[in-house]
Structure 1
Amino acid sequence: MWLLAVSLPLLPVIIVTMTRYWGELGALYQHLLRDMLPWRSAVCIRSTHSFVFTNCTHGRPKSVLETFDLYARTHPSLSLGPQRGEFLDEVVQQVAPVWTLELGTHCGYSSVRILRLLPPGGQLLTVEHNPTTADAAEEIILVAGFKHSQFQLLSCPSEEAIARLRTHLGEGLLHLVLMDHNVGLYLSDLQALEFEGLLAPGCVLLFNNAHLPAAHSLLRHISSRPGQYTIQRQAHGLLELHCHQPANHSSQDQD
């Protein structure tokens, strides 16, 4: 009883705090689930895949996304969700990218969002380091109605994928990059993209959960290059970055 008596006056403060920082708390939970509790992440992936595959209308991307969102209302989920998904939609429609790179496929939610809005001939390269997760995601993307001619799923670490992207791009460059994998890899992967000269002038980069402490080095890197990058906006845990003067082998300045 004494615990209840002490905690009741604090209830309004707890509710206000959770409401105000709900996005940050959710992002922290996702970070813990994805990077610090891999066994729990694997369970989440299998459960999500089973629910979406069973309950969506095959061949309809909208139904696949709605089923993802329905699942996330009552279960832990690694998907971007509708708010950040709509943010992503806006960017894809504005950029109309020919080449898009996604680091962190997870169950395929953001892949489906991107693919349904790409212009004719647009291609998605999506990277997932866990082969079991990659297989589940690929099945969901195909269930949504997309073909291998529209996307390629690379099952390997992001560093390895970036090192061999040129074999997929040919003479092309990346117009849109979504990073939604390990936040601690954001800076090194951005530097790898710079070093390889893979970012097109005007390329837009989106970073999920860039407000977490693990992303501080990324933000320092960006702020130290005002002529190279501009932060366009940050909302719902997504950071939108515009690249003006991509670095290359000769001009990259390592931190």
Structure 2
Amino acid sequence: MWLVVVSVPLLPALLMVSSRFRVKVSTLCHQAAAWALRLLRGKVCVRSTHAFVFSNCTHGKADSVMETFELYADTNPSLCISPPTGEAVAEVVRRVSPYQVLEFGMHCGYSSVLLLRLLPPAGRLITVELDPLTAELGEEVILVAGFKHTQFQVLTSSSADAIPTLRPFLEPGERTSEGLDLVLMDHDPQQYLSDLLALEREALLRPSGCSVLLIHRNQRAEDVRGILDQIRTRADRYCIKSELQCMTELFYRKGNTRTDR
């Protein structure tokens, strides 16, 4: 009986705490469900994109693989970068003429094939993909496009875990021994800045000049804005070379004296 007497005055507070707790639990459940749904949709998208490209492209022809990707994206949801974004990336690759390229985020292999077809015969692509299924199917697409394992390396890992292990994958040579010529970031935008600084700490960016491409996907433009603010405080190393709706190009160089654009 005494418990009832003591509990009655506390009942409003108990109900309030319970209500707030339910709201937090409900929010966490909704967030977990949304994440699981995105993951499921992503895997379905990767599988369906791979199946279409594999069945409809001309094997051994990189141009045919690219065209089949774009044909699929015309009528189906796709995780691949859009053709305009792909052309923006291609313009940078043609201008930079990189030998050693790092890609974060595979997305079915479209951007990997795009990069490889523009690299010189001695060039090499290292692509890092967190999801094992995406990495496996993306690698198969690269091979279907006609490229050899000597031209690329797929690492199934988070970007943070992969970066400290990248040095052995850099091929020795007159240019490549200095580091990466080009980095394409199309993974988690929350990782863009930390991964960029980690690449710098590991001395993986070519000190005489390395272009870094940040891909914008939907809401990512706002995320990238914070990165650019940080970049502007490092004018001795970085400058913002160009800002497009779909992509931002940064330029890294030790002792950089260039200004934005």
The interval holding the TM-score normalised by the smaller chain is 0.7 to 0.9
| Correspondence for 1:197 | 203
TM-superposed deviation, 1:217: 3.2
- Does 96-105 or 210-219 show the bigger shift? 210-219
Q: Point out which structure has higher relative CO (alpha carbons under 8 A, 6+ apart).
A: 1
Q: What is the match of residue 113 of structure 1?
A: 114
The residue identity in structure 2 corresponding to 1:204 is S
Which structure is higher in helix share? Answer: 2
Q: How much does 1:95 deviate?
A: 1.2
In 1, are the aligned partners of 2:236 and 2:255 still within 8 Å (CA)?
Answer: no
1:146 paired residue number: 147
In the other structure, the counterpart of 1:21 is: none
Counterpart position of 2:227: 218
2:157 matched to 1:156? yes
Amino acid in the other structure paired with 2:104: L
How much does 1:76 deviate?
Answer: 1.1
> What is the CA-CA distance between 1:209 and the residue it aligns to?
0.8
Identical amino acids, percent of aligned pairs: 50
What's the offset of the Cα at 1:212? Answer: 2.5
Instruction: State the 1:96 CA deviation.
Output: 1.3
Equivalent residue number for residue 213 of structure 2: 206
Q: Could you say which residue in structure 1 is the equivalent of 2:67?
A: 66
**Aligned counterparts of 1:191 and 1:69: Cα–Cα separation in 2:** 33
Q: Which has the larger radius of gyration?
A: 2
Rounded Cα–Cα distance in structure 2 between residues aligned with 1:208 and 1:76: 18
Aligned pairs, number: 215
Q: Does 1:228 align with 2:237?
A: yes
**8 A Cα contact 1:35 1:182, kept in partner:** no
Counterpart in 2 of 1:48?
A: 49
Deviations 1:99-152 (A, max 9, x none): 100000121101101101101210000010111110000000000000000000
Mapped partners of 2:39, 2:74: distance in 1: 22
Normalised by the length of structure 1, the TM-score is 0.80
Alignment partner of 1:242 is 2:251: yes
- CA deviations 1:58-99 (Å, max 9, x no partner) are 111111111111111111111112111111111111111111
Moved over 3 A (4+): 33-36
Which amino acid is 2:216 matched to?
N
**Higher deviation after alignment, 95-104 or 220-229:** 220-229
CA distance in 2 between counterparts of 1:45 and 1:70 reads 15
Distance verdict in 2 for CA 1:81–1:35, change over 3 Å? farther
Give, in whole Å, the separation in 2 of the partners of 1:68 and 1:117: 17
Q: CA deviation at 1:246?
A: 7.6
Distance 1:231 1:36 in 2: 36
1:100 and 1:174 in contact (8 A); partners too: yes
Q: CA separation of 1:128/1:35 partners in 2, compared to 1, >3 Å: closer, same or farther? A: farther
Name the SS for the 1:232 alignment partner. strand
Cα RMSD for the two superposed structures: 2.0
Query: Do the aligned partners of residues 158 and 118 (structure 1) sit closer, same or farther apart at CA in structure 2, a change above 3 Å counting?
Result: same
Structure 2: which 5+ runs fail to align? 1-33, 257-261
Residues 40 and 217 of structure 1: is their aligned pair in 2 closer, same or farther, counting only changes over 3 Å?
same
Give the gaps of 5 or more residues in structure 1: 1-32, 248-255
Per-residue Cα deviation, 1:153-199 (whole angstroms, up to 9, x for no partner): 00111111111011212644000000001111101101110111111
Once the two structures are superposed, the pairs formed by residues 18-57 of structure 1 within 5 Å of their partners are: 37-57=38-58
